[in-house]
Structure 1
Amino acid sequence: MIVATAGHVDHGKTSLIQALTGVDTDRLPEEKERGLTVDLGFAYLPIANGEVIGFVDVPGHEKFVRNMVAGIAGIDLGLVVVAADDGVMPQTREHVAVLDLLGVERAVVAVTKVDRSDRARIDAATQDVLSLLAETGLKAIAVHETAASGSDGIGGLLHSLTVEADTVVHHDSGGGFRLAVDRVFVVKGAGVVVTGMVHAGEAAVGDHLWAMPGGHDVRVRAIHAQDRPSETARRGDRAALNLAGIDRDALRRGDWIVTPALLTRSIRVDVMLRVLPTEAKALKHWTPVHVHHGAGHITGRVAILEGGAMVPGAEGLAQLVVDEPLVPAWGDRLVLRDQSARRTIAGARVIDPAGPVRGRARSERLARLATMDEDDPAAAITALLTLDDQGFDAHAFLAGRNIDPSGSADYLSAHDTLSFGPTDRRRVLLRRHWDALLAATVDTVRHDHAAHGDRLGPTLPELRRLLPQAPPPDLLDAAVRALVAEQTLVRRGAVVHTPEHSVELSGDDAALWNHVAIALEVETGSPPALFPLADQIDLSPSDLEGFLDRMVGYGMAVKIARNRYMTPDQVAESEAMAARTAEAFPEGFTAAQFRDTAGIGRNLAIDLLEHLDRSGVTQRRGDLRLLRDEP
């Protein structure tokens, strides 16, 4: 069990921990000199059942609330300390608010310095702190009175903590490993050590993990859990990991040590936001804030998704847009403080760790967030499949919940679905939604034929705009490929049409096209760009561009860039080259690798790859590209 203190400066938190454990948690010279806790302190107490109670002693001064928040994410119990001679003070209120916003549900109250107060003041202080807790989700399970000096009341307090430790449910170690780093240091002869709370999962000596958000691969050399050597660290432990493969300077408080490739960096996080009722005014859209997550904190802004502001005490959907990447998971709790970092103003619970750049406040997006907020992942997947007729990324959904996406089949087996896309980004949708998209695509192409009989058919971008609900490009491309495979549609260059629909070029256009096609295909690997081609054909660039755009409509040419056209056969050859490159580099290939495989210049390689991305043939992941799978 992990216990964190909470309370105003000079109310006796550090002295209380020392009386319980024998450990002075003020370790910094500044703390010794000033008699004031500045940063987090830690102590441990073995108890009769063989378990260890871990204590996090937090600073009480308002200047160091940032450090206080860093120490309490993921704890089991709050130890709320209030001095009888002072009673509830500003940091008592703020610390209790932070405990509540972070989802801590139980607390033990210690009323200190009772030897310096009369009974009336002791009773008043006790009633004040209990009234404060009653306004939150924190339940006071016991109240103990302790003296400023001596051991009065310590035995009873220790008994309550021991009983509570026996009742704490053993933490489920499922999900990927996540440790929130609050300290980084070097031990001579051992190397880099990080400490922090384990928020999820389990890690063992020898495991390879990632240090995020940097993305560094590290190996666990040794582990201490609850201040004891251990082979494993699991959810609920305060742990120290001795790491190999990383320098001290590459780590800092606020980083995470996580299971590889499960959680990702994000600067947009969709949350359920709760404004503290004690705020004097509404929280407005795009308010600058300090965001505390795990043991770290960064700056950012709040985008209110429902209305332009949230009144004190209100709860609603928001997106946090932060200045540096977070490494969040569904259900994580965050604390928001004002721009000057002097006041806690709100708390948040993560719904989507990777919020969208655009359309974050659209009604369909808000409905999706309400669905994603379902506690049971299987129930959420069922609802998402029903709600989203264009499918969703099951890999990202499960990874965002810290669930291994390789088990997605277990969640989808009860549904008639199909999926496509790279292994790590698979779009999943119900077959009935897929069938409806196929039917709508064919109907839209036929309607275009009826309205524009003088052209062969719409291009894919045009078809997407014509459909009742514009599907994502990768989904439409998959639908067209399926319809072409079953010979319901024909794809000629960039144009889609039905097999029975055709158009003929005029004599002049046919003659000019033959001339242009020869010029394009003289060097199959490197067709000339628009201006050199215009010189060869002896046309002005603008006249040639207009003609080539008409040929695109006839399916004779494909516009792959602003000033470059190719024949459908050349584009098909480039797709084959992409497939060949992907076979040689199955983890993803670079533009240079594609260029070398195809034997073409860099500029043409970039133009082709960007066209293949838009066409749904390839998918970009940073500097790498992958082939999209067929549905």
Structure 2
Amino acid sequence: MSAQPSLILGTAGHIDHGKSSLVQALTGTDPDRLAEEKRRGITIELGFAQLTLPSGRALGVVDVPGHERFVRSMVAGATGVDVALLAIAADDGVMPQTVEHLAVLELLGVRSLVVALTKIDLVDEEWRAFVADEVAARLEASPYAGAPIVGVSSRTGEGLDELRSVLDAAAAAAQRTKLDGPARMPVDRVFTVKGFGTVATGTLWSGTLSEGDALTVLPAGTATRVRSVQTHGRAVDEAAAGNRVAVSLAGLSTDEVRPGDFLAAPGSCEATDRFDAEFSYRDPFSLGKPLKSGARVHVAHGTREVLGRVLFMDGLEALAPGGRALAQLRLEEPLPVAYRDRFVVRSYSPVHVIGGGTVLTAHPRRRTNLQDEERVLLGALESGDVDGAVGAHLGLAALPETLSQVAAATGLGPALAEEALARLADEGAVAMLAAREPLYARPALIQRLVAGMERALMDFHSANPQATGMAKDTLRQAAAPQAAPAVFDALLGEAARRGAVVSAAGEVSHPKAGAGARMAEAAA
């Protein structure tokens, strides 16, 4: 049996505004699993349930913490959410964590929001209308302006049917956050199940997972294999992106995969200690202070949070509240980020959400002053201009690159990169070199490298007039020392095709000197 992609509904809201009670009333599942949560009456870790809507559509529900100490877990839960359900108590109104959770949802790119005005049985109609107006006014300046606001009571059941219908409509119009590409899943829980071994759970961001699939645990790089797959407690042959997934992992203990790790298809991404990003400074509590370049911050991505610094590009010293800028995030611990991943930044101390953004390049040079082509590359990635990004990257490349190298460097993935390279080749903006794995480069780069071979050969012949030619690897060291032998062979073949060099018997010569000239004379 295969689990088709479902949508993820994530709750949000201030502590004690009734999120977990609402989830239980809607789904029949109590997401407060831990003894400490029961004792304290709050959600500390992520709770999960499944909601079946009137249309028959099933939503995976992530109930995230509301207490300020657990905003980090809220970020983990909101990552991968397609529709957000914001709980606001009618007897309390908008509170600090309401504001912070809204900022997180917006920064993580959650497009669809439904507001549940909870505990309406505790207030009269006039107060309920007043709070609903307050909420609508708060949302007016956000991407969630006009979001539906539904009054509910988990205790009496009032409004629950209306809320289910509104969620059904929101789900029908929602866009899934991630689907295409290789398997990537941030891990939010790890435990042991008798007969299954180590089990990791999370929301599958992209790709599919099936029994026998090879996976890598990031950032450690440990290899493992999928023993079995479940979605919402049901065994499936294949889990698709968008589902809540539990996978049992072969050969791993619970010490070798932990909450905060990523499970990813081998080679699909690598952990990095820095990345370039489009960064937004939100200042949700209106403190009014600019964010200085180099500020130490908490960076939350997937289900992990690490310390790092935000450095703005091209000499920008500080960013005013509400501002956006290109930035390089330098991390104290590596994260397995990829192009278009969302991240959230919290201030170092006191800790609260201050901004976030979208990853543009995952493995950039350590720099903040951009070259022209780097600026073009980041701008193209930000706008989704695939051809522009590939062209700009090749404009920066010092050597021809394979499709896999171009795809990895731009973060676009092999399919998009291959299509872009084909279009650019048709336009004459990119040239392809024949090799076991074809190589791509800007025509000007190939011309420079071929000209470098010619100069090296002429210098050699001038210094060694009796020699027939240079050993191939000696020429490589002289003309293109950074080129791998396979890349140099492709360049040498192109140079020979152009008549710039003559290659025979393991030696290379210039067509006007040494063995090359003699061969030309003999041919004449």
Percent identical: 35
Deviation of 1:267 after TM superposition, in Å, equals: 1.0
CA distance in 1 between counterparts of 2:167 and 2:410 reads 32
Aligned equivalent of 2:471:
none
Deviation of 1:430 after TM superposition, in Å, equals: 2.7
How does 1:517-596 map onto structure 2 within 5 Å?
none
CA RMSD of aligned residues (A): 3.6
Report which stretch shifted further, 353-362 or 436-445: 436-445
> One-letter code of the match for 2:297?
V
CA distance in 2 between counterparts of 1:193 and 1:330 reads 28
8 A Cα contact 1:269 1:352, kept in partner: yes
* Mapped pair 1:435 → 2:447: yes
Aligned equivalent of 1:339:
348
Deviation of 1:134 after TM superposition, in Å, equals: 2.5
1:154–1:14 distance in 2 versus 1, CA, 3 Å: same
What do the CA deviations read for 1:269-302 (whole angstroms, capped 9, x no partner)? Answer: 1111011043521221211111111111111111
8 A Cα contact 2:24 2:31, kept in partner: yes
SS at match of 1:330: coil
1:300–1:209 distance in 2 versus 1, CA, 3 Å: same
Aligned equivalent of 2:432:
418
Aligned equivalent of 1:349:
358
What do the CA deviations read for 1:175-203 (whole angstroms, capped 9, x no partner)? Answer: 10111110011101111111111111112
CA distance in 2 between counterparts of 1:75 and 1:47 reads 17
CA distance in 2 between counterparts of 1:444 and 1:359 reads 35
How does 1:212-227 map onto structure 2 within 5 Å?
212-227=218-233
Where does the alignment leave 5 or more consecutive residues of structure 2 unmatched?
1-6, 463-473, 515-524
Deviation of 1:336 after TM superposition, in Å, equals: 0.5
> One-letter code of the match for 2:296?
P
1:7–1:407 distance in 2 versus 1, CA, 3 Å: closer
CA distance in 2 between counterparts of 1:261 and 1:347 reads 26
* Mapped pair 1:313 → 2:327: no
Report which stretch shifted further, 392-401 or 125-134: 392-401
Choose the corresponding residue for 2:64, options 44, 58, 66: 58
* Mapped pair 1:109 → 2:115: yes
Could you state the TM-score of these two structures normalised by the residue count of structure 1? 0.69
Aligned equivalent of 1:549:
none
8 A Cα contact 1:329 1:400, kept in partner: no
1:80–1:252 distance in 2 versus 1, CA, 3 Å: same
How does 1:170-569 map onto structure 2 within 5 Å?
173-277=179-283, 278-306=286-314, 307-340=316-349, 342-358=351-367, 361-378=370-387, 380-382=389-391, 384-385=393-394, 394-399=403-408, 405=414, 409-414=418-423, 415=425, 416-419=430-433, 428-439=440-451, 442=454, 481=492, 488=500
8 A Cα contact 1:110 1:143, kept in partner: yes
CA distance in 1 between counterparts of 2:372 and 2:410 reads 23
> One-letter code of the match for 1:94?
E
1:75–1:172 distance in 2 versus 1, CA, 3 Å: closer
Deviation of 1:442 after TM superposition, in Å, equals: 4.9
SS at match of 2:333: strand
> One-letter code of the match for 1:327?
P
8 A Cα contact 1:273 1:349, kept in partner: yes
Question: How many residue pairs are counted as aligned between the two chains?
Answer: 486
Where does the alignment leave 5 or more consecutive residues of structure 1 unmatched?
451-457, 465-470, 503-631
Deviation of 1:328 after TM superposition, in Å, equals: 1.3
1:472–1:167 distance in 2 versus 1, CA, 3 Å: same
What do the CA deviations read for 1:209-238 (whole angstroms, capped 9, x no partner)? Answer: 222222222222221224432211111111
1:484–1:391 distance in 2 versus 1, CA, 3 Å: closer
* Mapped pair 1:154 → 2:152: no
> One-letter code of the match for 2:442?
L
What do the CA deviations read for 1:20-47 (whole angstroms, capped 9, x no partner)? Answer: 1122211111111111221111111234
CA distance in 1 between counterparts of 2:415 and 2:91 reads 58
Could you state the TM-score of these two structures normalised by the residue count of structure 2? 0.82
* Mapped pair 1:13 → 2:19: yes
Deviation of 1:16 after TM superposition, in Å, equals: 0.9
CA distance in 2 between counterparts of 1:291 and 1:160 reads 34
Higher relative contact order (CA 8 A, sep 6+): 2
Deviation of 1:367 after TM superposition, in Å, equals: 2.6
1:13–1:331 distance in 2 versus 1, CA, 3 Å: same
